[in-house]
Structure 1
């Protein structure tokens, strides 16, 4: 029963993540098609990403209060309504641009608690089903990566074939499917302690503070957060600034950008699957150190040498394979240390901090390239990645807490 419920949660996550990827393509395209203004399309993207940080911080206590199943179902239903409202109001002639931004912001804001809730269900269901946490989180990571790849491809194909208005209706329906899967399949008696929570705004902020205080007091969670933040800063800077600059200025080949991103994604998927199959045989800190050392700094050093397209693609594929275990391993360690009753607010705060660091990394990389050169920027980030990669091997807290 528990394993079937875990499968249902992963299926719902796949549908929801794919829907988000489709929305990320359909909404800007809808803006371009209806206004012809690239700046407004960019603003719609900002309205989509900014709420991720806010909802990660402030939505965690609500997830803990409502429970993981209710949070997942209600978040998906609310997200579906906001997405469906965009084409409905447009067809009725009542969709000014400011309202579209509000709906985009609200949909993204509502979606984050659902993602947090489904991820928080995984440890309990894995334990009830007799599955190792590393394997369960690897399955979650695999599902996420497949859904991201599939959703991005499907979104492009559907928008081209059907137009953004119809695709937004389909996207809204995907959230309904996710809500039904969790609501009808996952048992309400999932093993989880019910926290004693009182009502009121003051209590809400006390719970929010409690989650942040738990992170600060733990011997390992702040270090996990530091690794998560730097890796996401560096890798997002690579994909959004550094690789496009290389493809445009050096290779003069946009196909090289697409192939290298796809190679990394496919490699990461393979690495996550491999970790789920054999990762439990090795100490966690050994896997993490090896994965970071191989997937992090080396790809920046290779790219700094300005390789041709074949070398670039192979490098990104190998880096992706090595990166595959990082997210499921860090998430498994994270959840193994967080009490169930604090899981929503602590994991939400961690996700918010990681997402908040991403635009800093992107802006910093762009500034560094402008002030120095592409090669210098790559080498500076590579040096920082190398230090972060050695951190789990050098600090005793990692070896003691991640045997």
Structure 2
């Protein structure tokens, strides 16, 4: 097969990969609004919102290193296909739970635990597949495009979930099941090629050793961990929508969409104008803006101001995401990408799901507003400390590393 023919097949597979990601992410984002509202509306306890994150974090942490090891050993496309099938079954299980009329919270937490385990395999395979489908010189733009697709779903999914919830949770989980079926078909249509398979040696913990030996990578992933762990307020949005801003489930969907709207705008700009010069310094500025916007959101009692703060927060976070993922991908050999992506996913999962648990606990102890404001201030402190502690990351230049 000629190089041009391989490029055509790679572009086709990359488009199918993006389509599958679009449908699967849209389904999960739509369902996440329903789960959050359902749990808080049933129990009225912030701690239970935190338990939703904890239920996903524990299995993800247990399986993510094996998931990365598997991604370096077998066809990554087949891993994505299996994960898509299992997620579809979980969504059908949630549909059955809410259709019963008296949803069991234990069953809901169990379903979320399965989703956490699936993500441990889905994440490393998906993150490490992109460099096999695009040329190195297009990787930064591909990462931004991939992130744009993700953010589109985070905009549309929560809004769709909020509106569908007005028809009842059955409508939400039924729609998500249909979308996941489409994602499974798109992944199945990808061409199974030898270049998608990677032969690698080494053990399951090689990814950890690789990251620990490179200060710029360790600094970037740990920065995200502590910034989002402290500054993430997503788990508490149902409380803001119901008790502080009083905008109901439709308002909750809009609040969940606001960060993604800002992030998608930022990703589109980065796809056309990659940040190559001063990338490390810009990463720290973006994290600081994320923290400041979190403080503004926490103090706001105005729905428009809250939406604006969340949009700025999302835009800053997207700059951080694109810079960090590009840094990791271009500094990792292909035979290690699955395991390194797994380590990266450990930090991402900890910052998101464990962050939700931390937010729920802090809100239960201190109150919702103090918990969010304190988290934003903590993020600002983390940005300052990491800028001092990791000078290699602060001086990082994409143009030099990618040359």
TM range (shorter): 0.7 to 0.9
Change (3 A) 1:319 1:389: farther
For the Cα contact (< 8 Å) 2:207–2:342, is it kept in 1?
Answer: no
Question: Please, which moves more after superposition, 268-277 or 333-342?
Answer: 333-342
Residue 74 of structure 1 aligns with which residue?
A: 82
1:230 to partner: Cα distance: 1.9
For the Cα contact (< 8 Å) 1:268–1:323, is it kept in 2?
Answer: yes
1:370 to partner: Cα distance: 5.6
The structure 1 residue matched to 2:211, chosen from 211, 215, 218, is 215
Residue 343 of structure 2 aligns with which residue?
A: 349
Paired residues for 1:3-402 under 5 Å:
3-27=11-35, 46-87=54-95, 101-127=109-135, 132-161=138-167, 163-165=168-170, 167-190=172-195, 193-196=198-201, 207-236=203-232, 238-240=233-235, 253-255=245-247, 262-280=257-275, 282-293=277-288, 295-300=289-294, 302=296, 313-358=307-352, 359=354, 361-362=358-359, 365-366=362-363, 369=366, 377=374, 380-381=377-378, 383-388=380-385, 390-391=387-388, 395-399=391-395, 402=398
1:306 to partner: Cα distance: 6.3
1:322 to partner: Cα distance: 3.4
User: Which deviations, in whole Å up to 9, do the C-alpha atoms of 1:133-175 show, x marking residues without a partner?
Assistant: 11111111111111122122222333433x4345434433333
Distance, in Å, in 1 between the alignment partners of 2:347 and 2:194 is: 32
Residue 4 of structure 2 aligns with which residue?
A: none
Residue 3 of structure 2 aligns with which residue?
A: none
Distance, in Å, in 1 between the alignment partners of 2:100 and 2:273 is: 55
For the Cα contact (< 8 Å) 1:134–1:279, is it kept in 2?
Answer: yes
Change (3 A) 1:289 1:192: farther
Change (3 A) 1:214 1:145: same
Change (3 A) 1:144 1:253: same
Change (3 A) 1:124 1:374: closer
User: Which deviations, in whole Å up to 9, do the C-alpha atoms of 1:183-239 show, x marking residues without a partner?
Assistant: 21244233553225xxxxxxxxx7222222222122322111221112211331x44
Report the count of equivalent residues.
Answer: 382
User: Which deviations, in whole Å up to 9, do the C-alpha atoms of 1:74-111 show, x marking residues without a partner?
Assistant: 11112222332454688799x97655544442244224
1:69 to partner: Cα distance: 0.7
Question: Please, which moves more after superposition, 255-264 or 134-143?
Answer: 255-264
Distance, in Å, in 2 between the alignment partners of 1:74 and 1:260 is: 32
1:317 to partner: Cα distance: 3.5
For the Cα contact (< 8 Å) 1:141–1:272, is it kept in 2?
Answer: yes
For the Cα contact (< 8 Å) 2:63–2:120, is it kept in 1?
Answer: yes
Distance, in Å, in 1 between the alignment partners of 2:360 and 2:73 is: 36
For the Cα contact (< 8 Å) 2:204–2:339, is it kept in 1?
Answer: yes
Distance, in Å, in 1 between the alignment partners of 2:299 and 2:105 is: 45
Distance, in Å, in 2 between the alignment partners of 1:84 and 1:355 is: 24
> SS in structure 2 opposite 1:208?
coil
User: What is the TM-score of this pair, normalised by structure 2?
Assistant: 0.77
For the Cα contact (< 8 Å) 1:14–1:147, is it kept in 2?
Answer: yes
Change (3 A) 1:158 1:240: closer
1:244 to partner: Cα distance: 5.8
> SS in structure 2 opposite 1:59?
helix
For the Cα contact (< 8 Å) 2:17–2:186, is it kept in 1?
Answer: yes
For the Cα contact (< 8 Å) 1:192–1:340, is it kept in 2?
Answer: no
1:343 to partner: Cα distance: 1.9
Larger Rg: 1
Change (3 A) 1:383 1:365: farther
User: Which deviations, in whole Å up to 9, do the C-alpha atoms of 1:321-361 show, x marking residues without a partner?
Assistant: 33332101101111112222222222122212332244355
User: What is the TM-score of this pair, normalised by structure 1?
Assistant: 0.77
- Report which structure shows greater RCO (CA 8 Å, sep ≥6): 2
1:272 to partner: Cα distance: 1.1
Distance, in Å, in 2 between the alignment partners of 1:156 and 1:242 is: 12
For the Cα contact (< 8 Å) 1:242–1:365, is it kept in 2?
Answer: no
